[in-house]
Amino acid sequence: EVRGVIFDLDGVLVDTAVHHFGAWKAIADQLGFSFTEAHNERLKGVSRMDSLNILLEIGGVTLAEEEKQKLAAQKNEQYVSKISTMDAGELLPGASNLLTELQSENIPAALGSASRNAPLILKNTGITPYFEAVVDGNDVEKAKPDPQVFLLGAERMRVPPEDCVVFEDAQAGVDAGRKAGMTVIGVGSPSDLQGAHAYISSLAETNAAHIRKVHEG
């Protein structure tokens, strides 16, 4: 039985990838190498510091730890200035309807995001009240594909992992959900996202009945 639903944030509920991209691109420009949208795919679902390390690897740049901390802080400042003007209009299709339906069916929802800025995004888009639990990059030591973020979400909802369904748009997140012993619905195509139990292209293609059906297998 489905007793809880766990959502990734970026790429599932909101499209903040474009804001992350703009902020990372500014860092690459400053360091003198090009950073494309294709490169940006590698940063999806990845923590801030790991993202910076991938960016520097793409540019062939080696920096001291202190300099890296400064750049990560600079990136975050630009990113936060973008998300601070977000509103409900930036919720992805189907997000609002699904959260409302789950609430009316008494199925709790949790957030399982790598982003340390997740609470601000939930607040600005007006969806904080729909979540029984919020687990973000501030709460976990081990990033996806480690299952910690989703296991903690299940624990905070007081729901066993096998009764949870996860929505994810990144490979690391799908892997994390599987390792947690949960049912995973991939938001994206099977070719980019291996190992999910079902695929949709947006939350507009799912509802409580569909979630139950995927969970039953």
The nearer residue to Mg ion, 10 or 175, going by C-beta atoms, is 10
Q: Indicate which of Mg ion, ligand B16, none lies near residue 132 (CB less than 5 to 8 Å, by partner kind).
A: none
Residue closest to 58 by CA, chosen among 36, 90, 81: 36
Q: In 19-174, where do the E strands start and end?
A: 109-112, 131-135, 164-168
Closest distance to ligand B16 from the beta carbon of 172 (Å): 8
Q: Which two tokens stand for residue 121?
A: 């995004």
Q: E strand or H helix at 25, and its extent?
A: helix 17-31
DSSP for 156-213, written as a single string:
HHT--GGGEEEEESSHHHHHHHHHTT-EEEEES-TTTSTT-SEEESSGGG--HHHHHH
Q: Is 10 annotated as a binding residue?
A: yes
User: What strand order describes the sheet that includes 198-200?
Assistant: 131-135, 109-112, 4-7, 164-168, 183-187, 198-200
Position among 4, 5, 7, 8 found at the interface with Mg ion (CB under 5 A): 8
Question: In the annotation, is 10 catalytic?
Answer: yes
Q: Does 9 bind ligand B16 (CB under 6 A)?
A: yes
One of 58, 86, 110, 114 touching ligand B16 (CB under 6 A) = 114
CA distance 198 to 200: 7
Residue with tokens 């989703």: 150
177 binds, among Mg ion, ligand B16, none (CB under 5 to 8 A by kind): none
**Whether residue 136 lies in the annotated active site:** no
**Residue 14: phi, psi to the nearest 5?**
-135, 160
CB 80, min distance to ligand B16, A? 8
Beta carbon of residue 153, minimum distance to Mg ion (angstroms, whole number): 14
Binds ligand B16 by CB under 6 A, chosen from 10, 90, 132, 175: 10
The residues, ordered by sequence, that sit 6+ positions from 195 with a Cβ below 8 Å of its Cβ are: 174, 175, 178, 184
Site residues for ligand B16, window 121-150 (CB under 6 A)? Answer: 137
- Shortest distance, position 122 Cβ to ligand B16, whole Å: 11
The catalytic position among 8, 87, 146, 192 is 8
Q: Which residues pair with 111 in a beta bridge?
A: 7, 134
Please list the active-site residues: 8, 10
Binding residues for substrate: 8-10, 24, 43-48, 51, 75, 113-117, 144
- Give me the residues that bind ligand B16 (CB under 6 A), please: 8-11, 20, 43-48, 51, 76, 113-117, 137, 170
Q: Which residues are annotated as a binding site?
A: 8-10, 24, 43-48, 51, 75, 113-117, 144, 168-169
